[in-house]
Amino acid sequence: MKHAHFSHGIFIASICLMAGTAFAAESEDIIKYRQAMMKANGAHMAATAAIVQGKVDYKNQLADHAKALQALNKDVAGLFPKGSDFGETKALDAVWQKNAEFQKLSKDTQHKADELAKTVAAGDSKNYGARFKELSDSCKACHKDFRKEEK
């Protein structure tokens, strides 16, 4: 009987090891997904800035970018679950250590993205610049304390 008990222990240990490996692989995929979302967010911010600042004449595409920013910023904090704080990431440990503050800033960014999308949908062109600046400032506030500095 001792032999069977020993085998059972090895089996349980193997399952735990496989689960840990699966979690690490899943976390790597979460990090890649998060990075893709943030890259898309940055691209839509750049396109929106170019339109709002009058550098390009694609005003007919502004609503699309504003809606994309609204969708991309719907749950930024959710892109940083526990266990995704390793590897090639620009996220600082503060994301997890000061999570309440991070959550608050993420909610603010979500709100600012919503306001930009509403302003653009309403055709309130005199306020596009102000709403875009508010969103940009909100992004920067979060990046200041929670993202590694760009070099």
CATH fourth-level superfamily of 2-146: Cytochrome c/b562 (1.20.120.10)
Pinpoint the alpha helices (H) of 53-127: 62-72, 94-97, 99-121
CA dihedral for 25, 28, 32, 34, sign (positive or negative): positive
Give dist(CA 97, CA 86) in Å, integer: 14
Residue 6 has pLDDT above 80, yes or no: no
Distance (Å) of CA 125 to CA 16, 113, 135: 57, 16, 16
pTM of the model: 0.82
Residue 1 has pLDDT above 80, yes or no: no
- Using 50, 70 and 90 to split pLDDT, how confident is the model at 25? low
pLDDT in tens, 27-75: 899 999 999 999 999 999 999 999 999 999 999 999 999 999 999 999 9
Q: What six digits make up the tokens of 126?
A: 């005199």
Q: What six digits make up the tokens of 38?
A: 């943030």
pLDDT in tens, 67-99: 999 999 999 999 999 989 888 889 999 999 999
Q: Is 143 helix (H, G, I), strand (E, B) or coil?
A: helix
**Could you tell me the residue ranges of all domains in the chain?**
2-146
pLDDT in tens, 99-116: 999 999 999 999 999 999
Residue 2 has pLDDT above 60, yes or no: no
Amino acid 9: pLDDT: 55
